[in-house]
Amino acid sequence: MASERTLSTASTTTETAIPVSDPAAPSGGRRWRPPALPTLRQAWFQVHWFIGITAGTVLVVIGLTGALLAFHEEILDVMNPGVRHVAPAAGPMLTPQQTVEAVLRAGRSERISSVAVQAEPGTSARVTFVPRPGERRGDVVYVHPYSGQVLGELQGHGFFEWIESLHRWLLLPREPGRVVLGVLAICLLGLSLSGLYLRWPRNPLRWRTWLTFDPALKGRSFLWGLHSVLGTWALVMYVALTATGIYWCFDVVRDTVDGWAGQKRPPRVAAPAKPPASANAEPKAPEPAPPDLARTWAVFQQQAGDWAEASLRMPAKAGQPVQVTWLDAKAPHERARSRMSIDPATGKLSAVDRYADRSLGARALSTIYPVHMGTYFGLPGRVAMMLASLGLPLFAVTGWMLYLDRRRQRRATEAARAAHGQGVPTAVAGTAAETLLVAYASQAGQAERIALQSAAALQQAGLRVAVQSLAQLTPAALRAHRRVLLVASSFGEGEPPDSARRFTRLLEQQGAGTLAGLHYGLLALGDRNYARFCGYGHALDEGLRHAGAAPLFPLIEVDNGDAAALARWMQTLATLEGAEHLALDTPLADTGPGQPCTPWRLTHRECLNPGSEGGPLFELALTTDAPATWHPGALVEVQAQHAAEAVDAWLAAAGLAGTDAVHLAGQPCTLAEALAQSVLPVPPLHFADAQACADALVPLAPRTYSVASLPQDGALQLLVRQERHAGGLGLASGWLTAHAPLGTLVPMRLVANPRFDAATGDVPCLFIGNGSGLAGLRAHLRARVQAGHRRNWLLFGERHSAHDTLCATEIAGWQANGFLPRLDRVFSRDGGEHRYVQDRLRAAAGELRACVADGAILYVCGSAQGMGSGVDAVLAEVLGAEVLDALIADGRYRRDVY
């Protein structure tokens, strides 16, 4: 009863409505639970995607127009060569007064509102006229700084005005436009901050996690990396853009900030209504002649000192002063403007307001525009702002793709739930101990779908099954079951999916032996391009072992939904007690066809450890006529076959003839050939004919081996340990090392292994391994020797020096030629206490630290149990978990363990 209570209690804490086959449930063992309140994370996620798919789409327009505006001055210059900049000449440039005279000479008799000049040689003067009635802006012309020629207006200026009003008001009337823009700015801030929360890593102090991602990633992982990492880069810019944007959009914000800065603005006064144009209106007075600016200019130059730009605003009425606004040559930014008023007739200075003399608050307010434009930080700031603006469409596209992918995944998961529901038999009696629990830890749904599909297949094979998310489970609840299957994906950096965090925390707190008696099988989903491939699956495996649970079979890793690994999972499930009739052809989530295998000829086979107490270790060489290349660290998947005797025995039992012609996957072959490459169906065997048998066959899962040679060696070499079980030799290792005669064509495909790739340059390398793990290490060492890189340390474990000194001649040659200054061979059974690689590593702690401090890359290849985990523990102990994490993040801890 206790176990039943545990299950039903757990089910009430579920986060989503998942049909769970629960043997304790009263009718049919399957219940729908109401959706629970979302967690904080889920709530933030909803906020993020809702804003993203609504406001995010409009923000694309703001981003694109902002990016155009960031460099619009330069674009205008390219469109208008010789207008704003002319070739610098030797003589002085025209003064403002000379400029005005030149304009009048050119026949432009409209009233001038301002003249702007720059100190930089060759820069044209800009003359702005008073707007015509009913217009907001007056005409602008540029005047040649040496000849006084009026150069006309800028082409494209109108276009950029349109772009600006799109950017600032979305082409709406100004007031509502400002408010809409303000709301959009708040949305962008919301997107940035919710995004920051959602991607907050477990180890926030590691900068690489925040700012880098591997472009080799594929699919959802790639999109996620692009979206979150580039988003982090752009975050500071978005906060700056939105904070400054909000200031302009909402008067209340602007007034508050101005108040804090001690710069209260006078209240807005509504513009007086324009008098209607009437037929008998007063005749317009002639425009006043522009004042003579010569005296004004002389006084300004004397007072201002070293200036870069100056703009002289003409008085609206006669007798008023000229307003001069200028930028010092050393001004901190483009809005650090000073002002003075000068009487044009007398040259009397009536007011001087220098930027440097203003209050801190006033100076701070003047930075808002340059911060928004990025000009405050010079060219890098402008480029950064432009890229951040251009990033908005990128985030919208990647965000939509992630959203659609998630929706697709959710639908697929719902379909799998429905399908699983149909497969559940009604009214199952019994206790949880007799029920095989299939638990999953899933972020986007793939692990859940595989769990559901596996459970459905197991149920159809006659087993009593329950499915639950780890979100609903506690380690204590597992004790109610005798057998548990777990399907676990990895998220973040080899971390648990969000739904499994609580379970993982509780598991870490379990004492040794608390789960004794529990048997589990684990399928770890991951992507080999991540530093911690299947990191969470392995952590879960270790946690369960530590708590005393016993594995039913070694953990199975799945790289990117690899069909072969999933087929291996199904085959392994079929070996479980009670699952003999499991339908091996059950389709599992997202399995796709892999790369095709090509035939390699087996040309050489040699036992490297005759007389060894351990299994014989063979060196194999294979060649192909097809072009083939690989990097040190690469893997091969071998499409193994059954020994001919095993096939003959099966045919005899089934009463079928091996010579019968059949089609397998569309290809003609004999039934014996078809059987050799397939899982041999378990009795009772009832096939109508040979083709019916071929149609029911499921291909054998390929076996993965590390490549032990380089393409330059002329052959692909493998080190294969011959496995022996109660039923005879292991399928693949037996075929490769004993059954397949020399000359056999072995179907294989090369698989890149980016996380066990070669080091670039002459960095020191520490190679650690045991047994057949020498394969991966040997390929690396050969590459290092060929490149002339000598700083190599090999730490390698085997059993007896008398029989297991593998590759002795080759390794001695490296030593003699100075390519292996340090070699530690550890023979665990050479007498006395058993000593292992990890013990030697601990004893060499000082050298290990020095080696790591020298920038070494650590390679570990060999068995995951014992050696792999032992070395990992010693590295953490000697270097500290932080340093080890940093090594992983830097790609300096490369493992190929199995």
Q: Which residues bind ligand FMN (CB under 6 A)?
A: 220-221, 224, 442-447, 489-494, 497, 525-527, 530, 532-535
Among residues 785, 776, 813, which one has the least CA distance to residue 896? 776
Nearer to ligand FMN, 22 or 493 (CB): 493
**Is the dihedral angle over the CA atoms 711, 715, 719, 721 positive or is it negative?**
positive
Which has the closest alpha carbon to 730: 739, 742, 717? 739
Q: Which is nearer to ligand FMN, 441 or 647 (CB)?
A: 441
Output the smallest distance, CB 597 to ligand FMN, in A.
24
Tell the burial category of 626 from Cβ atoms under 10 Å away from its Cβ (0-12, 13-18, 19+): exposed
- Report, in Å, the least distance between residue 220 CB and ligand FMN: 5
Judge contact between 718 and 732, C-beta under 8 A: no
Residue placing its CB nearer to ligand FMN in the complex, 224 or 250: 224
Nearer of residues 395 and 533 to ligand FMN, judged by Cβ: 533
In the structure, how many helices (H) and strands (E) does the chain have?
Answer: 30, 31
Positive or negative, the CA dihedral 244, 249, 250, 251 is positive
Considering the complex, what minimum distance in angstroms separates the CB of residue 198 from ligand FMN?
10
CB of 454 or CB of 770, closer to ligand FMN: 454
CB of 448 to ligand FMN, least distance (A): 6
Single-letter code of the amino acid located at 797: G
Task: Measure the CA–CA gap between 210 and 218, rounded to whole angstroms.
Answer: 19
Buried b (16+ CB within 10 A) or exposed e, 448-481: bbbbbbbbbbbbbbebbbbbbbbbbbbbebbbbb
Q: At its nearest, how many Å lie between ligand FMN and the CB of residue 204?
A: 16
- What's the DSSP call for residue 562? B
Closest of 689, 617, 630, 692 to residue 655, by C-alpha: 689
Determine the Cα–Cα distance for residues 98 and 102; give it in Å rounded to an integer: 6
Q: How far is the CB of 86 from ligand FMN (least distance, A)?
A: 55
Least Å distance between CB 525 and ligand FMN?
Answer: 4
Q: What is the DSSP string of 769-816?
A: EEGGGHHHHHHHHHHHHHHT---EEEEEEES-HHHH-TTHHHHHHHHH
Count other Cβ atoms within 10 Å, centred on residue 730.
Answer: 20
CB 582 within 8 A of CB 573: yes
**The residue to which tokens 């004790």 are assigned:** 479
Nearer residue to ligand FMN within complex by CB, 556 or 697: 556
Which CB, 307 or 533, lies closer to ligand FMN?
533
* Nearest approach, Cβ of residue 217 and ligand FMN (Å): 8
Minimum distance from residue 74 beta carbon to ligand FMN (Å): 38
Q: Which residue in this structure is represented by tokens 């979305």?
A: 170
Distance CA 507, CA 449 (A): 24
Residue 717's CB is within 10 A of a number of other CB atoms, namely 19
Q: How many residues comprise the chain?
A: 898
Nearer to ligand FMN, 370 or 526 (CB): 526
Q: Closest residue to ligand FMN, Cβ-based?
A: 526
Nearest distance in Å: CB 530, ligand FMN: 3
Q: Is the CB of 370 or the CB of 497 nearer to ligand FMN? A: 497
Query: At its nearest, how many Å lie between ligand FMN and the CB of residue 471?
Result: 12
- Phi, psi torsion values for 424, nearest 5 degrees: -85, 125
452 vs 634, beta carbon nearer ligand FMN = 452
Q: Which is nearer to ligand FMN, 119 or 196 (CB)?
A: 196
Shortest separation between residue 859's beta carbon and ligand FMN, angstroms: 19
Q: Output 182 or 225, the one with its CB closest to ligand FMN.
A: 225
CB atoms within 10 A of CB 613: 11
